[in-house]
Copies of this chain bind each other. A is one copy, B any other.
Amino acid sequence: MSIEKTPYEPSRRYLLEIAYDGTNYSGWQIQPHCIAVQQILQEILTGLYNRQPIHLIGSSRTDAGVHAQGFAASFLTPVRPEIPPEKILRASNRLLPPDIKLRSVREVPLEFHARYDALGKAYTYVLNLGAPSPFTDRYAWRPIHRMDVEKIRAAVAMLTGTHDYSSFVVERNMIDDAVRTIYRIDVQTFGAFCCVTFVGNGFLYKMIRCLMGTLEAAGSGKFSPEDVRRILEARDRTKAPETAPPNGLFLMKVFYSEAERETFQLETLPFC
């Protein structure tokens, strides 16, 4: 516990589920010269605890411009004041800016770790196959080429399983191991929107946006499903197309139980 560097004996650990519109942020994690979601939320929690510093441990990072429906982060509370989870939820939501809101607050065991205890994550990437829209352009990518949803469906089948995803990672040299498991990729349509939901044990830096760049090329007919398989097997970033823009991507859920991970289902558009 000493690594937390809190000057007070910690009493409880709270787990937060956080939704945010990432448009105006540099991502989750605090960085110099940027405004990060972590910073905004830590400052508000620190205020609630009478300026005793609160440090949030996030389940992962998210890139600049990426959104979240269910980002997970935990913190150790100071001994006092004792603030029940429901009150943290209500007070924070009153104080937070409109583009960050808490979905839930619950107590977890002291030894819980938001990152190391995660059994996987679900991300949804939203494509708008229709007209430009003032309401959804910040939440969906409108590819220039005409998309065929059935071609996207055929291509995603090549990408599930346990693989070395080196073809779909930016800054490959920064990581030891690019092997990950994608349990499922669901392709669903809601009106003019096509949502691609990835459920995996973990994802590499910009991996989903790299995968979406390839799926866009598959959807436009540029690549066959067999081409997509070859790109995966090449383990070479230069073989895959451009990275898709961040604004279509939503971290939907961080799983701390296998049952949650197996039953996860996208019910509606992630920005509704």
Chain A residues close to B by CB (< 8 Å): 19-21, 67, 93, 98-101, 103, 131-139, 190-191, 193, 267-272
Contact = CB atoms under 8 A, between A and B. Distances in A.
Integer count of this chain's copies in the complex: 2
A100 B135 CA distance: 9
A131 B272 CA distance: 11
B139 A19 contact: no
Closest 3 CB pairs of A and B: A135-B271, A21-B134, A99-B134
Given A19-B134, A193-B272, 18 more contacts: A19-B133, A19-B135, A67-B135, A98-B134, A98-B137, A99-B134, A100-B134, A101-B131, A101-B132, A101-B133, A101-B137, A135-B139, A135-B272, A136-B271, A190-B272, A191-B272, A269-B272, A272-B272
Contacts of A98: 134, 137-138
A192 to B, nearest CB: 9
Contact of A93 (B67, B100, B132, B272): B132
**Listed residue (A134, A136, A193) with the most chain B CB atoms within 10 angstroms of its CB:** A134
A136 B268 CA distance: 13
A272 B132 contact: no
Nearest to A191: B268
6 contacts: A19-B134, A67-B135, A101-B132, A101-B134, A135-B271, A272-B272
A135 to B, nearest CB: 4
A142 to B, nearest CB: 11
A136 B272 contact: yes
A36 B98 CA distance: 23
Contacts of A133: 19, 101
Nearest to A68: B134
A203 to B, nearest CB: 22
A139 to B, nearest CB: 7
Contacts of A190: 268, 272
Contacts of A101: 131-134, 137
Nearest to A18: B134
Contacts of A131: 101, 103
A133 B19 CA distance: 7
A21 B93 CA distance: 23
